[in-house]
Amino acid sequence: MSDSTIHINHNGFREYDARWLYPDDINLAGIKNLGCGLGSQIISETKKQNPRVVVGYDYRSYSEEIKDSLTEGLISTGCHVEDLGLSLSPMAYFAQFELEADGVAMVTASHNENGWTGVKMGIAKGLTHAPEEMQDLKEIVLNKKFISGKGSIKKIENFIDVYKKNLISKNKIQKKIKAVVACGNGTAGIFAPDILRGIGCDVIEMDCNLDFTFPKYNPNPEDLEMLHAISKTVKENNADVGFGFDGDGDRVGVIDNNGEEIFSDKIGLLIARNLAPQYPNSKFVIDVKSTGLFSHDKILKKNNCETILWKTGHSHIKRKVNKEKALAGFEKSGHFFFNQPLGLGYDDGINSAIQVCHLLNNQNKKMNEIINELPKTFQTPTMAPFCKDEEKYQVVDELVKKFIKFKNDKVLVDGEEIKDVLTVNGVRFSLSDGSWGLIRASSNKPSLVVVTESPTSDKRKKAIFNFIDKYLQETGKIGEYDQKI
């Protein structure tokens, strides 16, 4: 391939993974260069001439050809590639531990619409690239600072079975839980039903056949369309619980036995409450989109557990869980991270569903009864108004300044003063009753992220959203929302 054919849009190097529209923003020659860059980075980091790298890919129509070009690049630097074949992201992460490899590269655009591709990658086991590594990778790739070597490729046969057995063997349950398992025709369809059946669930499959056109909707457990479809199936089958998995299987959404969706941050809190008495003095990491209930929870307080609010994004939370030696981390988007002794620190949507099954197995209560033990709050879904990649961080920076000023000037939101402003990731401002609103830049799409929650009323939840939206519209840089209350 001559240099003239190489095409890579530099905006594809995002905060903690790489995503592009293919072939508009990156072509196969560009993907090969990405492989050359990643291989060079792994060699520099590990100080090994021929590091071993596990590679997997999801079931999109074009993922295999992208994996082949990425692999070509990795081999040209001297990497020994171990090809797992069709994979989930957590299976690729698990393979890095199981096969004791030096790096991992998973070809997936997760829940993004068809047309997107990307790579989730890591060097240290159980951790994926953070902004520093992504910046480093971007410099290597765009400036073609490649190491040259002689690598190889070998196929790892039947690793899917090794991954399935690992989860099944440790997680048998006594109670026959009837579970709807929805995969939106994404890759999780050949994994989740088998594993949940294997631990002892009575599984009702929903859209588990692989179909890369995603005929109904994107496999995304934050998408209300998918959640409503699962809800309907749960009610029709009188199921105990419904699980919805995203395209690469690292996230899960949960529906209770009445067909009500439970936002994943509340599921995280239920799991934390279940774990706290067994593991007192633990730390839990949650992202800034998560419910305010963690900070006031009586069971967590009683067991002297600490909650740390951190940046949204699977790489950020993974690293924070690792650094703080936290027992677990929970993201509102449905990424859950279980550290030793419960897991290896990375996010696995099927393992998260298994933890919910343990919750049901341990308590003689239905899912809706368990959720009703939590104080009620009114929460919006995650809403994403369009904002250009080149402008989104600047827009958020201006809003951070604005909200700090609102707090200082005692500006009222729905009749309440702003009590607290957290700026670890965009701006999360809280009112004295525990209500809050969040604005941050999306890490992997040209959009912002807006979430609000109120323990007081639905009206206040909406009033906080309207307050935020007014100032967003004033910037003149906001487009359509993907979904809106």
> Catalytic amino acids?
110
Backbone phi and psi for residue 320, each to the nearest 5 degrees, phi listed first: -70, -40
Distances (CA, A) of 317 to 135, 275, 285, 289, 336: 19, 19, 7, 12, 9
Give me 331's structure tokens. 């993201």
Tokens 């655009």, residue located = 109
Classify the phi-psi angles of 259: left when phi > 0, otherwise alpha if psi is within -120 to 50, otherwise beta.
Answer: left
Taking the C-alpha atoms of residue 467 and residue 484, their distance in angstroms, rounded to an integer, is 14
- Determine which helix (DSSP H) or strand (DSSP E) holds 465, and give its type and residue range: helix 458-475
* Alpha carbon distance 409, 37 (integer Å): 49
Which bin fits 207, alpha (ψ -120 to 50), beta or left (φ > 0)?
Answer: left
- Are 35 and 71 within 8 A, CB to CB? yes
| In contact, 467 and 418? CB cutoff 8 Å | no
d(CA 267, CA 244): 13
Q: Which residue type does 38 have? A: L
- 217-230 burial code (b ≥16 CB/10 A, e <16): bbbbbbbeebbebb
Separation between Cα atoms, residue 286 and residue 266, nearest integer Å: 11
Residue 433: closest CA among 411, 414, 409 = 414
Measured CA to CA, the distance from residue 195 to residue 206 in angstroms comes to 15
Cβ burial 99-109 (10 Å sphere, 16+ → b, else e):
eebbbbbbbbb
Q: For the chain, what is the largest distance between any 2 Cα atoms, rounded to a whole number of angstroms?
A: 67
Contact present, 53 and 103 (Cβ < 8 Å): yes
Q: Of 292, 331, 291, 304, which Cα lies nearest the Cα of 315?
A: 331
CA 171 to chain centroid, in Å, comes to 23
Helices (H), 297-452: 298-302, 314-324, 349-362, 367-371, 389-408
Q: Which helix (H) or strand (E) element contains residue 58?
A: none
